Chains A and B, each alone.
Chain A
């Protein structure tokens, strides 16, 4: 076996391992957000590990299938979980290595979009009026969110002179560029603006305040949850895990893509350990940030969602201009 083959096999193993670790950590991240939110209201809040218990409970229950549903309803939890897991494996989180296929954000974003597509279809497939409402709303949100995500990532890629072709953005290169040149400051205006635009997209994509209220039980206001109303048992566990994993993946892009400090560029155990610790700290910081945002502002009226995402698009544009200027 040649060295390059060995390298890519090792890279694939690392990616798979990272995917498993990230998916396993995803419920903990959301548990942390809920905990901080509760503490901000002076409540005790659910235990950090509650999501794991819920998922374990759901796996022991039976799945009930609405009679009008087709194969899409059964496939959607599997597809969304699979795409989120693969996205977790490919996200440059702890280590960014060239030549493994790992680190391509465009792949990651569109893997998540594929999962979302199936969940939207499943919401329609179950033929309940709430599912239909949720699907149409989720589709509307994604129409406005996706361009912002791509634009803000493109700003980073262009800034690092990696490539002008959006599909070629590799965060490994991002990291390499950062490692090579200290002139690309972490607190440069363009970077902060692009990160802010992407963060707003994360809130929209993860069905968080101000776009959706993850804590509501009111069917008529739900966006994401409304599509999942008909799911139960193991299939509900899978879609729940998928959305938690998606949240972690997107936050990883914020943590390691926009601020690639501390990302390991080799497979040295020591470097990986440090990178892991930095990554966890950054995610915890983001979780606290989300909790604060959710505690400080109200959910927006649904038809004003495009306005908010329009602002995010403006911020991303501004980031592009700021990069040209500075």
Chain B
């Protein structure tokens, strides 16, 4: 019998030596079997194993069981691609190819992900960004529309190519990498003074999400736990981040269809939610709040009362603002049946977060892999079944409601005690995978420590990495003029993807 993957839990450090090292077929079979039984690939990445070999680590997440499984295998120049049988890994395999020059043999569409220089040798040159094979539809009446990387609005850079027939889109290919900063390379050898700041700016709008994932990872490595009060404040901050971003997205969706009342209401309300985070830590995006061992700022009773009042007012207004959307036929005509992603596609490609829940998949790390305060205070998973722009908007509105309730509950019953604990030394030669439900979806951090307890590899998977393909597929058969609306309904991060 072949060795089984190592079963583990969210944010649990295990010795790297315990992770089974499988052969080519075993590795493949183990992943495909797990996926057929309901797991999905949360992370798949390479780490040099010496002697010119690369060790591939795979993190499998089973939402039903709430368990993680780790497995690995060593490869030299190439390995058999899994992408044809398990499409969810296609981008991971392209990433491995780009970072380490190891070829996933038989990959259906092998090309750069971020146009980053290989991690193998220092000083290696990157391929020229944006220069790659793009899928093309040939024919007299087919035309290609290329947008970006420079856009008319103040947004992040990305390149989009549409194969169109009049207004209809046959295919969209998205080419990113313009925001690549080399964060994973910079994190290796840490943690040091800079680490937390790199983490907080992995994706600026998911500061809390990434910071919580990072701190849980460090705490797992140190075998310690943050104080209960810190967990509660982290939970509040995480949900405030969700509130601010969901509100902003609902407003932006309204703005994209030219519906001004909700757009302007939500613009103001997003600011109110951001200011509530600022009232806790002085930064609207929550920079400097979450720290290894707890949080850097307490929420005193007076501040808590103030926040409760502000929250109640903001929640009342947001109900009115989003209610307008569902009551306005011209808005619903734009939202419904636009950019539909089927549940099958979602499950095959392993989308996460709002995009998955809008396809009727009840996938939420707060429920499936609870950490911190979410072990004690559950947030209901909000889903909708239609998979269109409306579903993604409606799930956001539902989550706004439940996040508001969660924050209110936490503020009313903050555990007593300190908010920051000193962390002991980190254990050497460990691996830990941490999943946190950021506002966009599952944030996955995987840390490997060396013999001194320092990061030998720190892998970050932003939810956007899973979901960009979803946007491309949502556009098939749509009108090209609906792209901005579909794009906004996913609202994916460029820098979170590009790292």
Contact = CB atoms under 8 A, between A and B. Distances in A.
A294 B257 CA distance: 11
Contact of A298 (B143, B145, B258): B258
B483 interface: yes
A219 to B, nearest CB: 6
Nearest to A37: B260
A220 B333 contact: no
Contacts of B254: 298
A278 to B, nearest CB: 30
A130 B145 contact: yes
B480 interface: yes
Contacts of B153: 217-218
B484 A220 contact: yes
A304 B333 contact: yes
A218 B151 CA distance: 8
A232 to B, nearest CB: 14
A302 interface: yes
Nearest to B264: A41
Interface in B250-286: 254, 256-261, 263-264
A40 interface: yes
B409 interface: no
Interface string B307-350: 00000000000000000000010110110001000000000000
A87 B487 CA distance: 41
A218 B256 contact: yes
Counting chain A residues whose Cβ lies within 8 A of the other chain, the interface size class is: 20 to 34
A132 B141 CA distance: 13
Nearest to A42: B264
Interface stretch (A207-215, A245-253, A279-287): A207-215
B330 A300 contact: yes
A133 interface: yes
Interface residues of B, number: 31
B18 interface: no
Contacts of B258: 209-210, 213, 215-216, 294, 298-299
A301 B145 contact: no
Contacts of A6: none
A11 to B, nearest CB: 42
A299 B257 contact: yes
A217 B155 CA distance: 11
A60 interface: no
Contacts of A221: 256, 481-485
Given A129-B143, A132-B143, A219-B152, A298 B166 contact: no
B486 to A, nearest CB: 10
Of A136, A209, A220, A221, chain B has the most CB atoms within 10 Å of the CB of A220
Contact of B330 (A129, A130, A219, A297): A297
Contacts of A133: 145, 480
B169 to A, nearest CB: 10
B15 to A, nearest CB: 51
Contacts of A217: 152-153
A301 B261 contact: no
Contacts of B328: 297-298
B24 interface: no
Contacts of B479: 301-303
A301 B143 contact: no
Of A42, A43, A213, A301, chain B has the most CB atoms within 10 Å of the CB of A301
A164 interface: no
B146 interface: yes
Contacts of A37: 260
B259 A298 contact: yes
Contact of B260 (A40, A137, A218, A302): A40
A50 interface: no
Nearest to B148: A219
A298 B257 contact: yes
A210 B147 contact: no
B142 to A, nearest CB: 12
B167 interface: yes
B408 interface: no
B264 A220 contact: no
24 contacts: A133-B145, A137-B167, A209-B258, A210-B258, A210-B330, A216-B258, A217-B152, A218-B153, A219-B147, A220-B145, A220-B483, A221-B483, A221-B485, A295-B260, A297-B259, A299-B258, A300-B330, A300-B333, A301-B334, A301-B479, A301-B482, A302-B479, A303-B167, A304-B333
Given A220-B145, A298-B331, 15 more contacts: A129-B145, A130-B145, A133-B480, A209-B258, A217-B152, A218-B153, A219-B147, A221-B484, A221-B485, A297-B328, A298-B328, A300-B334, A301-B333, A301-B479, A302-B167
